[in-house]
Structure 1
Amino acid sequence: MSSGSTNDIQASLNERGGFHVWWRLLRPHTLTASFVPVFVGTMVAVVDRNGTIAFGLFLAMMLASILIQAATNMFNEYYDYVRGLDNEESVGIGGTIVRDGIRPKTVLFLALSFFAIAVLLGVYICILSSWWIAVIGSVSMMIGYLYTGGPFPIAYTPFGELVAGFFMGPVIVGIAYYIQAGVINWGVIAISIPIAICIGAIMMANNIRDRAGDEANGRKTLAILLGHEGAVTFLAANFILVYALTILYMFLGMLPWWSLISLLSAVHAIRAVKSFSGKGSPVEMMPAMKGTAQTNTFYGMLLGISLLISVFLG
């Protein structure tokens, strides 16, 4: 591709040089899937511990989760390039390799470095909680690598949303809760389900946007199996389930009535679904991707804040 065409793509995606090259490599719009579960799990523990929080463990868990997510994104960038799936026109990637000229080995090195730092943070967490966390964390990191690495990448199958939702929903929320409370219960697992659905929705939105290109490259994602309209309908149904569960949990006393504020995030969910409808090109669907990520961010943060409010205001 000519440099002019590459510049056109970068302009349409508002891609800039310098520091922004490395920031895009992290795929910041996806990092909401790493910090929201930690925040929610911790806030549930704060409620159960009557306002008590171990800030050191909270910060270590938050940073480790973000690092693992960022490293997973880098593995995605690296392996999609190695397999010839990304090019200068690809949308939704960091573009650091195919458009900015960053060496593939540099991206791989950074991913492994992020994993290494996450391991050190994990050791700190284990020392102050339980070494079983090391086992769960190791499995989570392996899944992060296998999501796009290895001979059978999970992201290329219909199970990408399910796997991502499970490990970044119940697993991360559960760990964040356990290292604060020292126990685990079914209540926090139930509360993690809407979070898991929101995170799976981010992956679904990504796959809806990339559906045509993924199908041409032989992938079998859920969005490909459902088709564009079917996938958008499925995404909408997932958002409805998130809010239905939230309301149910409030009636059951599992969440405080303050959690009604989390329903404000539905504005972004509606916007995301509408932005996908009738759109054909990946660039046109970028606002829908943003809206889906914002749904997770605002839902999770408002839910966590509602829990914190309930501690101090009842």
Structure 2
Amino acid sequence: MRAYSFPASLFPLSIGILFSMPITDEEVYFLPFLIFSMLCLHGGTNLINDYVDYSKGLDGKHHPGASAFIDRKILQKGQVRKVALFLFGIAFLCALPLFYYGGIPVVILGSIGIMGGYFYTAPPVSYKYRALGDIFVFLLMGVGPAAGVLFLFDSFQISSLFSVLPLAFYITAILHGNNIRDARHDSQYGVHTFAQFLGPVKARWVFVMEIFAAYAIVLFLYFYYGNIYIFLPYLTLPLAIRVAMTVLKSSDTDTTLMYIDKDVAKVYTLFSILYCTGILFFTGPFLQ
């Protein structure tokens, strides 16, 4: 289920929770439902993606994005689909208390999130294959979870939502790096991604802009909040530069990008830990 990617959706939730402080004792009981629903949704999305990609012949045995479940014969292809649907069902059930407490905005955002996860690759929408994966991942895995939490705890503010954008850009960079690596392979199967649309050179520069947009927004937020601790994620800047240079110097025929999605995910995870820590320093008084 590519557990290394789970922080991609959990950290935006954390941003929403931090900017919702203080939360009441009653609201604390919703946190396990919130987190477990998000994990099941993310896991279901990954598995339905694996199922559809295998069905289309996209992920062969030696492809770096191939499913370990199918590749190692832990589950048959049809079983992967059943597990995915089961996880979507659990995600929906866990979301029901959140829908009841949060009202219409949470119902709308949660429903869009669940449907967006399923139709990422599943027909008839399959928006991943229509060069729309990047924008939907930005919205549904970056902005959406934080917005849902803010509405759930009646704490929605534009400034709070803006604060999740560094994570949204990094999450999109994980997918975009993956699509740069797979561009030639995907084109053989009629799959269209944003990276293909841009072409190899522009796609690589867009990847770099996505990475450094995260740091630029952090700089803007420093001037908005006046909190020096928000610069903590800048400690990851050397790692980000190294990943960016790896992508820029790569070609479509070498193997330097084989694990680019995992490499970006590692930097993103460290960035997010430091970013959430920095935010905690100025939301900290509300936790007391």
TM-score (norm 2): 0.90
The 2-side partners of 1:92 and 1:208 are apart by 13
Deviation of 1:163 (Å): 0.7
- Identical positions, percent: 23
The 2-side partners of 1:197 and 1:189 are apart by 13
List runs of 5+ in structure 2 lacking aligned partners: none
Letter of the aligned partner of 1:172 in structure 2?
P
Equivalent of residue 122 in structure 2, options 142, 149, 152: 149
CA-based RMSD of the aligned residues comes to 2.3
CA contact 1:79–1:149 (8 Å) conserved in 2: yes
Moved more, 82-91 or 63-72: 82-91
Taking a change above 3 Å as real, the CA distance of residues 170 and 52 of structure 1, as seen in their structure-2 partners, is farther
The 2-side partners of 1:311 and 1:88 are apart by 47
Equivalent of residue 289 in structure 1, options 250, 261, 269: 261
Equivalent of residue 211 in structure 2, options 232, 239, 255: 239
Question: Which aligned pairs between 1:145-224 and structure 2 lie closer than 5 A?
Answer: 145-180=118-153, 182-224=154-196
SS of alignment partner, residue 150 of structure 2: helix
Deviation of 1:34 (Å): 1.2
Deviation of 1:151 (Å): 2.9
The 2-side partners of 1:136 and 1:177 are apart by 11
Deviation of 1:221 (Å): 0.9
Question: Which aligned pairs between 1:118-133 and structure 2 lie closer than 5 A?
Answer: 118-133=91-106
Moved more, 71-80 or 194-203: 194-203
CA contact 1:201–1:238 (8 Å) conserved in 2: yes
Deviation of 1:50 (Å): 8.5
CA contact 1:268–1:292 (8 Å) conserved in 2: no
Q: Does 1:76 align with 2:52?
A: no
Letter of the aligned partner of 1:171 in structure 2?
G
> Which residue in 2 is equivalent to 1:269?
240
TM-score (norm 1): 0.83
Taking a change above 3 Å as real, the CA distance of residues 79 and 192 of structure 1, as seen in their structure-2 partners, is same
Equivalent of residue 80 in structure 2, options 107, 113, 119: 107
Aligned residues: 285
Deviation of 1:86 (Å): 2.0
Deviation of 1:287 (Å): 4.1
CA contact 1:125–1:179 (8 Å) conserved in 2: yes
CA contact 2:184–2:252 (8 Å) conserved in 1: no
CA contact 1:272–1:290 (8 Å) conserved in 2: no
CA contact 1:273–1:288 (8 Å) conserved in 2: no
The 2-side partners of 1:53 and 1:304 are apart by 23
The 2-side partners of 1:281 and 1:36 are apart by 34
